[in-house]
Structure 1
Amino acid sequence: MTDPRIFEMPRIERVLEGPGALQQIPAELERRGLGRALLVTGRTIGASAPFKELVNSLGERAAAVHNEVKAHNPVGSLAELVRLAQDVNADVIIGIGGGSAIDAAKLTALGVGEGIHEPADFLRYSISHGLPALSGAPLPTIAVPTTLSAAEWNGVAAFVDEATDTKELARYLELTPKTVVLDPGLCALTPRELWTTTGVRAIDHAVEISYATNAHPYTTALCMAALGILARELPRTSKDASDGAATLRCQQAAWMSLVGVHNVPVGLSHAIGHQLGAAGVPHGVTSCITLPHVMRFFEEATKQQQQLMAGVLAEARGSTQPLAAPDEMEVLFEELQVPRRISEFGISVEMLENVVRATMGEAEAVIRQAPREVTAEDVRGLLEKAY
């Protein structure tokens, strides 16, 4: 007799969505009794009119602003953020921007709760170092995404160990943002290439969670719906940032693609992508490069799931004659005009061996539900095909 399965429900408490949702943050802080917010974002959003209006509307509740988030969160910058949060006695962290900004907010909340002071101390809270039980309570976070990477829907947060150029992952349900704010008007400020490639990242979530060996009917249904929405709406929004209705549908699809990830993990495409990201490939672009190759690698073991995906993708482009799922994905990527090769990003063939090593370091954490066994030689071959 097998033990009952435990399904951890998502920890998000509220979602504010639609035009003008950003302006509801002061009321949300009031409702929660929070009075000292550290706002964490990048330079582009930090210089924007909507962000400045939000800071003004918060008044004294805006205890501090950090608008220097770095891509992939080098661990040294996280320690600086924790010190800032402690210096201003922040009681909530608001992450506004893409996955790096939202992960920075979650990791700052972790650092304050755990009393982290040194960059190296963050490594103890990563998957590769064992994920020790938390000794304190992370600060609450509010996430305002401007991309489709979907970091806001879970308690996973990524950072880079600068000593080894390896991407590390913290994973605690307690890091899940309490409130998520989906404002399509704010997303119009996102450069279209970034918006589009992070949309492909959400597609990658949907694919890998759907054919994981421990796939669940709840997550699979959400992922298949997300795949169809993104295949229809992402091409539209990649060309027209002003289409607020389609933008919100893409945001909702990104939500659907990843909300159950604490139960059913992503897989090989993400594991390789994490380490390509540490080597210098932008976050969403890694999925543009790896996903079709990984789908072909798993094609024999996931025939039934990929047949369903092919039908969904073909229907989205108006066809009743589906190609093989990886080929359907190639057609979509051609329409989106996303980057497709590792060699486009100044990464040498010699650097790929570190990517292989670091990817296999995620075998137990990220590739554990892969549809077939994955070896270092398999990863090396996939990287060669994608180069």
Structure 2
Amino acid sequence: MYTGRVVFGDMDEVVFGQPAAEAVAAQLDRLHLSRAFLMVSGTLNRNTDEIDKIRKRLGRRYVGSFDAMPAHTPREAVVAAAEQARAAGADIIVTVGGGSITDGAKAVQLCLANDVRIASDIDGIRAVNGVAPVMNAPKVRQISVPTTIAGGEFSAIAGVTNTRTRVKEMLRHELVIARAAILDPAITIHTPEWLWLSTGIRAVDHCVEGLCSREAHPYADAHALKGLSMLAQGLPRVKANAGDLDARLECQIGAWLSMGPLAAGVPMGASHGIGYVLGAMHDVPHGYTSCVMLPAVLRWNKSANAKRQELVSAAMGQPGRDAGDVLDDFIRALGMPRSLQDIRIGPESFDRIAEQAMATPWVPRNPRKIDNPGQVREILVLAA
């Protein structure tokens, strides 16, 4: 008998296929808000007119912006953004950019609500062993315009890097999920190909680890199967023609669906857990961690969930093939890195990576039980 719990997050709307500037303004109208603080991609802000379009459309409702969020969302940048949003008197944060910016705004919401003013104060709001401390709920929420497809805007979890320890820490609160997500494929034209495709594999990773979890259930499966099918079709189309807006939107909707398992309480596994460590310790982009680790994790897990892995191959249009091989071929065809060597991580780092991975929320819930760092090291060797 299935058992589980599906929690519907506090997101009001997902708007897709509409221009970002118009959709953002409409959300402020809907929510009766008047002081929008933008957290945006520095590249978009400096090299395109996309952010200016939003500023102009908001008019007097625009009160400031922050465009200096580095990859992996370091604590110091979160605090700097929070100070600017506080000084501006923001009543809504609008993000335009990738996952680090989206996660940054989630953390900023908690900083504003809990008077976090220096990096070390984040100790008081970070989750420990996946459990968040008691804290004030955010009152300043977020509207998200993602330019990549890792799907973080659909999650109430943020990853923030402690630069002192080089560990990515979890922040979570049910209200940090965006109030609205705006999926505008046109604004993503500026996203570099490697970033679009690799974050697409991150979304594939959500689908695959959700499907292969020992805690999977039909509601989550429905999202993951459709999302995986859309991503498997859409990503090669964008690779072939960067201007194909229909394919880009297909990828965006696939990424949205990929977050269904997490939203429905299905945990991720070792690919995500090891990926947390590779990002924080070695500054590997999130998408690349999934490109490198996911096929290896599938192969290591196959003795425990071969039947579930058959769903992965079928959803990707290759029923009957080994899922690890299907993912390996798919990622290679997109031109993404496929080994730890490709991202310049050698065996001398494996023991430390394995130790830290054991402390992540996902490795202990991997479908094939992982009891010790030596087993994580086995996966790393498969990915070498």
Which interval holds the TM-score relative to the shorter structure?
Answer: over 0.9
Aligned to 1:258: 259
Structure 2 contact 36–93 (Cα < 8 Å) conserved: yes
Structure 1 contact 302–371 (Cα < 8 Å) conserved: yes
Provide the secondary structure at the position in 2 that maps to 1:15. Answer: strand
1:49 is aligned to 2:46: no
Pairing of 1:188-337 with structure 2 (within 5 A): 188-262=189-263, 263-278=265-280, 279-315=282-318, 322-337=320-335
For the residues of structure 2 that align with 1:87 and 1:33, how far apart are their CA atoms? Answer: 21
Quote the offset at 1:384 in angstroms: 2.5
Answer with 325-334 or 285-294: which moved more.
Answer: 325-334
TM-score normalised by length of structure 1: 0.93
Runs of 5+ consecutive residues of structure 1 not aligned to the other structure: 316-320
Aligned to 2:365: 369
State the one-letter code of the partner of 1:114: N
State the one-letter code of the partner of 1:167: K
Quote the offset at 1:351 in angstroms: 3.3
For the residues of structure 2 that align with 1:6 and 1:327, how far apart are their CA atoms? Answer: 33
For the residues of structure 2 that align with 1:35 and 1:200, how far apart are their CA atoms? Answer: 37
For the residues of structure 2 that align with 1:11 and 1:151, how far apart are their CA atoms? Answer: 14
Quote the offset at 1:350 in angstroms: 3.1
Aligned length: 379
For the residues of structure 1 that align with 2:72 and 2:58, how far apart are their CA atoms? Answer: 28
Match of 1:355 among 341, 353, 356: 353
Aligned to 1:338: 336
Structure 1 contact 193–238 (Cα < 8 Å) conserved: no
Quote the offset at 1:75 in angstroms: 0.7
For the residues of structure 2 that align with 1:206 and 1:3, how far apart are their CA atoms? Answer: 19
For the residues of structure 2 that align with 1:259 and 1:36, how far apart are their CA atoms? Answer: 31
Offset from partner CA, 1:131-171 (integer Å, 9 cap, x none): 10222334210011111100010111111111111111112
Offset from partner CA, 1:322-357 (integer Å, 9 cap, x none): 321111111111211101122333445433333222
The percentage of aligned residue pairs carrying the same residue is 30
Distance of aligned partners of 1:20 and 1:136 in 2 relative to their CA distance in 1, 3 Å threshold: closer
For the residues of structure 2 that align with 1:251 and 1:120, how far apart are their CA atoms? Answer: 35
Provide the secondary structure at the position in 2 that maps to 1:206. Answer: helix
Aligned to 2:31: 32
State the one-letter code of the partner of 1:295: L
Quote the offset at 1:50 in angstroms: 1.6
For the residues of structure 1 that align with 2:170 and 2:16, how far apart are their CA atoms? Answer: 28
Match of 2:382 among 372, 377, 385: 385
Distance of aligned partners of 1:382 and 1:3 in 2 relative to their CA distance in 1, 3 Å threshold: closer
Distance of aligned partners of 1:10 and 1:259 in 2 relative to their CA distance in 1, 3 Å threshold: farther
Provide the secondary structure at the position in 2 that maps to 1:261. Answer: helix
Provide the secondary structure at the position in 2 that maps to 1:219. Answer: helix
Answer with 272-281 or 285-294: which moved more.
Answer: 272-281
Structure 1 contact 156–175 (Cα < 8 Å) conserved: yes
Structure 2 contact 207–261 (Cα < 8 Å) conserved: no
Runs of 5+ consecutive residues of structure 2 not aligned to the other structure: none
